[in-house]
Amino acid sequence: MSAVSCTAAVGRPRAFDMQTALEKALDVFWTKGYDGASLSDLTSAMGINKPSLYSAFGNKEQLFLKAIEFYESRPCGFFKPALEQPTAYEVAECMLLGAAKSMSDTSHPQGCVMVQGALSCSEAAAGVKEVLIDRRQQSESEVRDRFELAKNQGDLSKDEDSEALARYLCTVINGIAIQASSGATEKQLVDVAHMALKSFPRNS
């Protein structure tokens, strides 16, 4: 009944840190994809047994959804900071360079779990595939909205097609994700980012 109960400290306390375990699970899904990640892979990476996984996270699908939710909100993410750049061009530049650097970073799996988590997949993964498609579409819409804002702020010509610009940007970033997961180096991807920027309208 207590409305201020924080973390419900009743019963045997959990012997593992949920956040740490979630990050380990993310690494597994990122590397192997939803279909390719078995519960054995997950539990051994997380350092827990199956009943602990199920009681803490529900099931494999819910674990995946929580993992990508964390992924999108990570402080080291490149997407949200880029949107806060002052001009549309700088948003594109920051996002492309951020993607190139982040996705080739060897301190975590290469590429982007939002892309490679479930691209072509079994029926069992159809749900998470849909979620990933929605999230990517959502991101594209955020970029488009940012470019619409730029038009109003005057740093992007009203003649430009915000939606097409956003789609182009996200397409290149998806391509960078594929290249990164194929082993491309940071320099190679940064070069690609710079080439892609040449297409982007610059005000000055």
Binding residues among 28-87 for a copy of itself as defined by CB under 8 A: 29-33, 35-38
> How far are the Cα atoms of 40, 92, 200 from residue 167, in angstroms, in the given order?
38, 11, 12
Tokens of 167: 């789609």
Q: How far is the CB of 110 from DNA (least distance, A)?
A: 22
70 scored as a contact of DNA (CB under 7 A) = no
SS3 197: helix
Min dist. Cβ of residue 196 to DNA (A): 37
One residue of 1, 3, 4, 12 binding DNA per CB under 7 A? 12
| Residue number, 5 or 182, with CB nearest to a copy of itself | 182
Q: What region does 47 belong to: left with phi over 0, alpha with psi -120 to 50, or beta?
A: left
Q: How far is the CB of 120 from a copy of itself (least distance, A)?
A: 4
- 137 to 176: interface string for DNA, x by CB under 7 A: ----------------------------------------
- In whole angstroms, what is the distance from residue 41 CA to residue 64 CA? 13
3-class DSSP state of 94:
helix
Please say which residue, 81 or 175, places its beta carbon nearer to a copy of itself.
175
Find which of a copy of itself, DNA, none residue 198 binds, CB within 5 to 8 Å per kind.
a copy of itself
Binding mask 30-59 for DNA (x = CB under 7 A): -------xxxxx------xxxxx-xxx--x
Query: How many other C-beta atoms are found inside a 10 Å radius of the C-beta of residue 7?
Result: 7
Q: Which ranges in the chain belong to alpha helices (H)?
A: 18-36, 39-46, 50-57, 60-73, 79-83, 88-104, 113-116, 126-153, 162-181, 186-197
Binding stretches for DNA (CB under 7 A) = 8-16, 37-41, 48-52, 54-56, 59-61, 122
